[in-house]
Amino acid sequence: MHRYIPNTDTQRQEMLASLGMQHIEELFADIPAQVRLNRPLDVPRSHSELELMTHIKALADKNLGATDYVCFRGAGAYDHYTPSIVNHMLLRQEFFTAYTPYQPEISQGTLQAIFEFQSMVCELTGLDVANASVYDGATALAEAAMMAGNATRRSEVVVSGTVHPEHRAVLETYGRTRDMTVKVVPHKAGCADMEALRLAVTPITAAVILQSPNFFGVVEDLSGAASIAHAAGALLIASVDPLSLGLLKPPGELGVDIAVGDGQPLGVPLSFGGPYVGFMAASQKLLRNLPGRIVGITSDTAGQRAYVLTMQTREQHIRREKATSNICTNNALVALATSIYLTVMGKAGLREVAEQCVSKSCYAYAELLKTGEFEPAFAAPFFREFVVKSKRPVAELNQGLLTHQILGGYDLGQDYPDLQNHWLVAVTEKRTKAEIDHLVRKAVQ
């Protein structure tokens, strides 16, 4: 007997008898003997709850993360504040133990939550339509590139080197499989190189791809990139930080055709990288090219307003090999977390968080420069995250900071050979002045 399996041996025997059988083995007669496993699986013995918690807690305690260290590392995963209610709501079984809302009469909660999520994504991005979410920011970007390929019937994308290196890597993986060429244009002083982008775009370019704020934290010239893309009949895809959109102009107002991004900054814990949630929004004309689930409003037989999965003729379970994507999942529960975050923070809160990030990151930047140990790397304005050039190798600098319980910035030399000794420092609203001052003191030792 196992605690998760309620039928007793007696009940099992009675059930077998009702089938005219005596042994459970008889149910597996269709499985050829030569493919049967004739030994127990090589996994640990069954653990009780007490043993399980002790064992896994010991594994958890071996990690030292943003609880134990003051975190100035970002690079796509940010240590922001999460209101308590987010987790409380996620623990409601009606949300987390439900399946995809294919039976709308008993799934109005999930469906309405997704509708609200789509609406919030549209509000943040300034675009017309959004899907119910995808896995994360990187796969959202890859899906957007494939979507642009389908919409334009073109076979290459031009991506700025200022896009997150891992997002570009995922894009290249998808591109290789789909015979979509991915051209990378190196950065210029921390920004997308507009002149090089213009030269890279060709008549087969499906999309130009930028990230803003980019991997270096720099706010990019999206409207400039839109002109370049549109002049060539290509789309502009922008990967955006949803938190920054409390302050920054929405991509839809800057000529962006598809905006994607990762919802992690909106109340999703660092979680060693996942699960997060990717969002995708687009202009109206691209609706039928959007991958993934979409919820719409309709009415029931009594005329009540109700929510339902719609536009499903784009999707794999209807269209099979002709679907816009193979994606099935949306990361509904994480999308719900971001909706709850945006609900409690609201108009004013999102702006205040974003403003605090600006003030605190500007303070840290100025204080680091004052030490004389760091030089400015790029001139363009940044959001929450900035790059400075260190006199010492970043690996050595970060190793020293660890001894003071500080998780220092990201070492850009890992991904950009031309940016050795360049340090990408993230300062969220959670960092106090005292913590920043501590960083600055210890960074010069």
Partner 1 sequence: MRKATKLIFEQSVAGRRGYQLPPLDTPTVNVSDHYPADVLRTQPPGLPEVSEIDAIRHFTALSQRNYGVDAGFYPLGSCTMKYNPKINEDVARLCGFTNSHPYQPEELSQGILELLYKLDQMLADVTGMARMSLTPAAGAHGEMAGIMAIKAYHRHNGQQQRTKFIVTDSAHGTNPATAAAAGYETVEVKSNDRGGVDLNELQRLMGPDVAGLMLTNPNTLGLFECDIVKIASIVHGGGGLLYYDGANANAIMGITRPGDMGFDVVHLNLHKSFSTPHGGGGPGAGPIGVKEHLVPFLPRPIVEYDGTKYYFDHDRPLSVGRIKNFYGHFLVLVRAYAYILSMGPEGLRHASETAVLNANYMLHKLKTRFDVPYDRICMHEFVLSGQRQKNQGCSTLDIAKRLLDYGFHPPTVYFPLIVKEAIMVEPVETEPVETLDAFIDAMLRIADEVETDPDLVKHAPYSTVVGRLDEVKAVRQPVLRYKEAPGTDASAAHPTRPTTPSPMAPAGKAII
**Binding piece for partner 1, criterion CB under 8 A, among 187-195, 203-211, 323-331, 369-377:** 323-331
- Closer by beta carbon to partner 1, 69 or else 444: 69
| CA–CA gap between residue 374 and residue 408 (Å, rounded) | 14
Residues in region 367-396 near partner 1 by CB under 8 A: 381
Chain CA centroid to CA 8, Å? 44
> Does residue 42 touch partner 1 according to CB under 8 A?
yes
Please list every residue from 213 through 272 that binds partner 1, using CB under 8 A: 219, 223, 245-250, 262, 269-272
Q: Segment contacting partner 1 (CB under 8 A): 187-195, 227-235, 337-345, 369-377?
A: 337-345
Tokens of 40: 């127990």
The span from the CA of 58 to the CA of 52, in Å, is 10
Question: How open is the CA angle 212-216-220, to the nearest 5 degrees?
Answer: 30
The answer to whether residues 89 and 336 touch, using CB atoms and an 8 Å cutoff, is: yes
**What is the C-alpha to C-alpha distance for residues 206 and 171, in angstroms, rounded to an integer?**
14
CA-CA distance, 277 to 293, in Å (whole number)? 14
Instruction: Name residues contacting partner 1, limited to 159-188 (CB under 8 A).
Output: 164, 166-167, 169-170, 172-173, 176-179
Measure CA 415 to chain center: 20
Residue 187: CB minimum distance to partner 1, A: 18
Closest separation in Å from C-beta 297 to partner 1: 4
Here the tokens at position 173 are: 């993986």
Of 199 and 441, CB closest to partner 1:
441
Q: What is the DSSP letter of 391?
A: S
CB of 9 to partner 1, least distance (A): 10
For partner 1, the closer of residues 253 and 375 by Cβ is 253
Report the site for partner 1 in 191-210 (rule: CB under 8 A): none
d(CA 358, CA 12): 64
Task: Name which position in 153, 203, 348, 379 contacts partner 1 (CB under 8 A).
Answer: 348
**CB-count burial class (<10 Å; 0-12, 13-18, 19+) for 63:** exposed
Residue 163 host element (H or E):
none
318, 370, 375, 418: which one binds partner 1 (CB under 8 A): 318
Rounded CA-CA distance 403/69 in Å is: 10
Backbone angles phi, psi at 223, to 5 degrees: -70, -35
Q: How many residues form the binding site for partner 1 (CB under 8 A)?
A: 201
Q: Report in angstroms how near the CB of residue 165 gets to partner 1 at its nearest.
A: 9
Residue 162 to residue 126: CA distance in whole angstroms: 23
Binds partner 1 by CB under 8 A, chosen from 70, 101, 211, 289? 101
| Binding status of residue 152 toward partner 1 by CB under 8 A | no
Q: Which is nearer to partner 1, 233 or 346 (CB)?
A: 346
From residue 7 to residue 36, the character string flagging contacts with partner 1 as x (rule: CB under 8 A) and all else as - is: x---xx-xxx-xx----x-xxxxxxx-xxx
**Binder to partner 1 among 154, 293, 384, 422 (CB under 8 A)?**
293
Range in contact with partner 1 (rule: CB under 8 A) among 108-116, 203-211, 226-234, 370-378: 108-116
How far is the C-alpha of 151 from the C-alpha of 289, rounded, in Å?
A: 6
Among 184, 362, 369, 444, binds partner 1 (CB under 8 A): 362
Q: Which amino acid appears at position 310 of this protein?
A: T
69 part of the interface to partner 1, by CB under 8 A: yes
